[in-house]
Amino acid sequence: MAKNAHPPPPRRWWNPSAHARRRPRLLQRQAILAGVRAFFAERDFVEVETPALQVSPGLEPHLMAFATELVGPDERRSRLYLHTSPEFAMKKLLAAGEERLFQIARVFRNGERSDTHHPEFAMLEWYRAGAGYGALMEDCEGLLRAAAEAAGSRTLSWKGRAADPLLSPERLSVAEAFARHAGIDILATAPVADAPDAALLAHEARRIGVRVAEGDEWDDIFFRVFLERIEPRLGHPAATILYDYPISMAALSRPKADDPRLAERFELYVAGLELANAFSELTDAQEQRRRFTAWQRTKEARYGLAYPVDEDFLAALAAMPPSAGIALGIDRLVMLATGAERIEDILWAPVAENGNPTNSL
């Protein structure tokens, strides 16, 4: 930059020319949302709305929440959080007697901003009482087709990879994926199912040339191998349903009846992009408390903070019927259906950072 040159002015999202470039995809977003709602209406789901303000925002160790304070009319103050998912409230509605429900919720995650992450985003969650995760796999197949049709698209694509929504998704277990794409027997690195051995997985990672850092835990190494060797190969030319995770990686899921090393959990990948995370839900309140406590310890050790347990949720869990539930990123679905590479390309208005408009539009 020349000595006296000034930096270019920020490109504001509301600039008419910038908005005009983005508007076609935003109208496709509107059509996709309508298509999603029609998809669930045809299957006798009820659409619900639950509060973003919650006692607990969700306890996953690596998710960071936005905290706020509720001031009552008597000036009594209490700490609340913007939820990272509407899961706890929706499961309470299952306990109340709802059998098929969905929600398109605004959710909030701090410290997340990238081409595929935004601090506030839209999440689709749906639950089926009396069902297992297999029913959700069928839902995902139909939903991908409905979204593509609503957008007027024949493919779902992201950064040069494409998936045909008319093809049935590939179903691939986590163990099969590690064996096929990384040459690792992932279950052999967890001889004690709920306490996997980081040293065993570190040895396997180094053997295939994946970096291992000092102090890495088993989960850290798992994700590094997964991101480098496996994820880019998933979801094309058809979507991939990656199922049956090690039990240590599914704290909200029930174990498989025929193999307690595994949990009834799957993730949906399309064109190399993670789109959804699903479970056959755990309904054992005592076991759920044990897992929440373990998560709190992990978060405290890594980040120096921990969020509270929602005791009302645990009380409801004891009354919840056997169910299956799934969370799907609506913004990512819109990206795939419109061919957008960045999440801000399909948001009507992005969140400002430090009070300033984004320069990425």
Q: pLDDT value at position 193?
A: 86
Sheet holding 66-71, edge to edge: 53-54, 77-82, 66-71
Residue 121 tokens, joined: 């985003």
194: confidence class by pLDDT, cuts 50, 70, 90: confident
Q: Which residue has the tokens 């499961």?
A: 91
Whether 115 has a pLDDT exceeding 70, the answer reads yes
74: confidence class by pLDDT, cuts 50, 70, 90: confident
Whether 2 has a pLDDT exceeding 60, the answer reads no
Strand partners, 68: 80
Q: pLDDT value at position 12?
A: 87
8: confidence class by pLDDT, cuts 50, 70, 90: low
Region 224-230: what's the mean pLDDT?
A: 97
Rounded to the nearest angstrom, the gap between the alpha carbon of residue 176 and the centroid of all alpha carbons in its chain is: 22
Q: Which residue has the tokens 């959700």?
A: 136
Residue 310 tokens, joined: 């929602």
Region 253-277: what's the mean pLDDT?
A: 94
Burial-class residue 61 by CB neighbours within 10 Å (0-12, 13-18, 19+). middle
Residues 6+ positions from 69 with CB-CB distance below 8 Å: 77, 78, 79, 80
Question: From CA 102, how far away is CA 190, in angstroms rounded?
Answer: 35
Question: From CA 253, how far away is CA 263, in angstroms rounded?
Answer: 6
Per-residue pLDDT of 315-347, as tens digits, reads 999 999 999 999 999 999 999 999 999 999 999
Could you write out the three-class secondary structure of the chain? CCCCCCCCCCCCCCCHHHHHHHHHHHHHHHHHHHHHHHHHHCCCCEECCCCCEECCCCCCCCCECEEEEEECCCCCEEEEEECCCCHHHHHHHHHHCCCEEEEEEEEECECCCCCCCCCEEEEEEEEEECCCHHHHHHHHHHHHHHHHHHHCCCCEEECCEEECCCCCCEEEEHHHHHHHHHCCCHHHHCCCCCCCCHHHHHHHHHHCCCCCCCCCCHHHHHHHHHHHHHHHHCCCCCCEEEEEEEHHHCCCECEECCEEEEEEEEEEEECCEEEEEEEEECCCHHHHHHHHHHHHHHHHHHHCCCCCCCHHHHHHHCCCCCEEEEEEEHHHHHHHHHCCCCHHHHCCCCCCECCECCCCC
Q: Which range, of 26-30, 80-84, 351-355, averages the lowest pLDDT?
A: 351-355
